[in-house]
Structure 1
Amino acid sequence: MMETRKTPTIQDVARSANVSTATVSRALSSPERVSESTRARVSEAIRVTGYTLNQAARSLRQRTAKTILVALPDIRNSFFSSILDAVEREATNRGYGVLVANLFNARAPAQRLQDYMLSNRADGLLLLDGSLDLSSLQTLVRPPNSVPLVVACEEIPNSGFHTVLTDNLSAAERATRHLIDLGHRRVAHLLGPEGNVVARDRLAGYTKALPRAGLEVQQQWLFRGNFDMESGFAAAAHFMSLSERPTAVFAANDESAIGFLSGLRQHGLTCPRDISMIGFDDLGVAAHYTPPLTTMRQPRELLGRMAAEMLIDILEDAEHRRGPMRIVLNSELIVRESTAHLPLRASG
């Protein structure tokens, strides 16, 4: 005769974690009120006993949170502002609130997200950071946790997660080709952070465009960067040290492009007279910098709206959980004053 397994209870979790049921409840409803080690023990006990997220929710209250959690790598980065605004507007229109988790310098970020979700403070997770450990995220989305998850901005390769992103590789190729079409043959690339999937795709677009124009990738023209103005400023000093300098630079984002141009100005060079520069993102400052920055415009508001819409659809209709769904949005070349035709004197 087949043995029927007893449905795990909060008491089972408490026994497994060697804490009281009150502590388990606090760890689920107000994780900030218990120590990190206790939260970890309770999370592990939930996994071992099979006590599910839905059971935890029912034991605490008989309703959903009607809230989504948005997790991003660095809230200080202005790139995310219009995305967050679009997410909040779409969520509000659908009757949901929004929580924001800033993962910048967070210890064990995946564990932090699990704590949020097991506390039942949010019904689903919108992740804007592709650097998190894949196995930890898979634990979060699989039973017994079964957290609805949508990844946006940065794709996590081979994850099988629902994803909304922009065409980083093909847009980077278009950006590089724009410089080549202006007559530039010595084209450099200001990189993004090492290991970052977006930076990797933009480098791939750059390296794809050069051979198609009969140009070779020069390792000395790959400038180290980190998606910030400081790294762009530092790259300008490296640029000045080169015996043969590029006449144009494709930067992996607008912030590093602006830092690079600021650094060149310190050395008496101006754009576009001495160098052409194209960025990526079209931040608000790009149109108002001197010179106004040519860039690839990501549809950030549309990305935020569609990502929030996808997540809420999943929450409200189990059929949407089948997939995975993957949406790729096109970026647009915005030509301003930082790129120009190569002067004849520099074309040799």
Structure 2
Amino acid sequence: MIKKTPTIQEVARFSGVSTATVSRALSNPERVSESTRLRISEAVRVTGYTPNQSARSLRQKTARTILVALPDLRNPFFSTILDSIEREAVLRGYGVLIANRFSGDDSGRRMRDYFLSNRVDGLLLFDGSVDLAQLMMLTGNPAPVPLVVACEEIPTAPFHTVRTDNLYAAEQATRHLIGLGHHGIGHIRGPVGNVLTGEREAGYRKAMADAGLAVRSDWIFKGAFDMDAGHAAGQLFAALADRPTAVFAANDESAIGFLSALNQHGIACPRDVSVVGFDDLGIAAHVLPPLTTMRQPREALGRIAAGALIDVIEGQRRSRLPMHMVLSSELIVRGSTSPPAHRAIAPEAAVQLQ
């Protein structure tokens, strides 16, 4: 039996509004209230309704499709973001294409191919390593491509951006450890050359400097935003004769890999070392111990970034100045952090004891 294609009438019934309101929300979402818009978005998701993109494209001479370019589709960090992007795009009457690992020498050619073939109307870029010169060519006259950069800001580039304040969030994570009484705090970095790596390490260093605490080079571990790199950092940590009592990892995957290595060496968390991650992946609450982490607002980030790009495509954002939206992260405290078992003696107290 052939399954019946969902209709706009079903969306209207599910959301409790008229078909005209559904149509208005899909074509001009700014004309309906936020609560109505969210009800219709949920109805679209549940019913599986898809607007007739082909007919719209023929009428408006557009593809009604956005391209989402990711640095690594395997990273679970992007799952919630992609879900919210697709929900927002469908609500606005757009489809979504995904390009993985968009950087490299042929990135300019690949981007031009997408747009010259009229397959997409705009680019939502999550990869800050794409060559800036290639992007400038793509977004320059005579036919500029609408572009919004999300998550990984490209410094000095004149593009619309939607991101979180990584530096301040890393400060918060480190201050949490300092507030628990930790004086020796290490850091697992992200990949070399990544803008997020630099911002999160800068936040860690700022919190340490503000507290008058030293940053030791042997307590800074190489990373790559994955579990293998975190596990390797854990092996190096276990081999140290003098270990920090706490570690801030640049993302959850590396923190989880680090916890795995600790377990292999019989090092207990948080008794022997407290660990903080970054992102709040779905698995973070279910590892042992549950991971304290900085929760990035991934759903909001994807929704806002997709909406901003579609606004640019449709000419609703006419300002010559680029939009820069910064979202806040939230500290989620779980079982991987606690006061150190043996509090270090403060430097000034040590002087008095001599």
TM-score when normalising by structure 1: 0.80
1:293 aligns with: 291
SS of 2:224's equivalent in the other structure is coil
Structure 1: gaps spanning 5 or more residues:
1-59
Once the 2 structures are TM-superposed, how far is the Cα of residue 186 of structure 1 from its aligned partner? 0.4
SS of 2:145's equivalent in the other structure is coil
SS of 2:153's equivalent in the other structure is coil
2:229 aligns with: 231
2:273 aligns with: 275
Q: Is the 8 A contact 1:139 1:145 kept in 2?
A: no
* Deviations 1:235-287, CA, capped at 9 Å, x for gaps: 11111222210000000000000000101111111111111000000000001
Once the 2 structures are TM-superposed, how far is the Cα of residue 218 of structure 1 from its aligned partner? 1.0
Q: What letter matches 1:347 in structure 2?
A: A
Q: Is the 8 A contact 2:66 2:123 kept in 1?
A: yes
Question: Structure 1 residue 216 and structure 2 residue 219: aligned?
Answer: no
2:325 aligns with: 327
Q: Matched residues in 2 for 1:117 and 1:127: separation?
A: 14
2:73 to 61, 72, 75: 75
* Deviations 1:73-130, CA, capped at 9 Å, x for gaps: 0111000010010000000000000000011676522321221112110000000111
1:173 aligns with: 171
1:1-348 matched pairs, under 5 angstroms: 63-103=61-101, 108-317=106-315, 319-320=317-318, 322-343=320-341, 345-348=342-345
Q: What letter matches 2:344 in structure 1?
A: S
Once the 2 structures are TM-superposed, how far is the Cα of residue 151 of structure 1 from its aligned partner? 0.2
Q: What letter matches 1:315 in structure 2?
A: I
Q: Is the 8 A contact 2:68 2:124 kept in 1?
A: yes
Q: Is the 8 A contact 1:167 1:330 kept in 2?
A: yes
Once the 2 structures are TM-superposed, how far is the Cα of residue 145 of structure 1 from its aligned partner? 3.7
SS of 2:318's equivalent in the other structure is helix
Q: What letter matches 2:98 in structure 1?
A: V
2:350 aligns with: none
Q: Matched residues in 2 for 1:318 and 1:213: separation?
A: 46
Once the 2 structures are TM-superposed, how far is the Cα of residue 146 of structure 1 from its aligned partner? 0.6
Q: What letter matches 1:225 in structure 2?
A: G
Q: Matched residues in 2 for 1:321 and 1:264: separation?
A: 52
Q: Is the 8 A contact 1:190 1:224 kept in 2?
A: yes
2:18 aligns with: none
Q: 1:76 to 1:204 in 2, by over 3 A?
A: same
SS of 2:118's equivalent in the other structure is coil
SS of 1:69's equivalent in the other structure is strand
Identity, % of aligned pairs?
Answer: 63
Q: Is the 8 A contact 2:188 2:223 kept in 1?
A: yes
Q: What letter matches 1:198 in structure 2?
A: L
Equivalenced residues, count: 288
SS of 1:320's equivalent in the other structure is coil
Once the 2 structures are TM-superposed, how far is the Cα of residue 163 of structure 1 from its aligned partner? 0.2
Q: Matched residues in 1 for 2:206 and 2:95: separation?
A: 42
SS of 1:150's equivalent in the other structure is strand
Q: What letter matches 1:121 in structure 2?
A: R
Once the 2 structures are TM-superposed, how far is the Cα of residue 326 of structure 1 from its aligned partner? 0.4
Q: Is the 8 A contact 2:104 2:130 kept in 1?
A: no
Q: Is the 8 A contact 1:68 1:125 kept in 2?
A: yes
Q: Matched residues in 2 for 1:105 and 1:169: separation?
A: 24
Q: What letter matches 2:258 in structure 1?
A: F
1:53 aligns with: none
Q: Matched residues in 1 for 2:233 and 2:120: separation?
A: 42
Q: What letter matches 1:176 in structure 2?
A: T
4+ runs deviating over 6 angstroms: none
Q: Matched residues in 2 for 1:151 and 1:186: separation?
A: 36
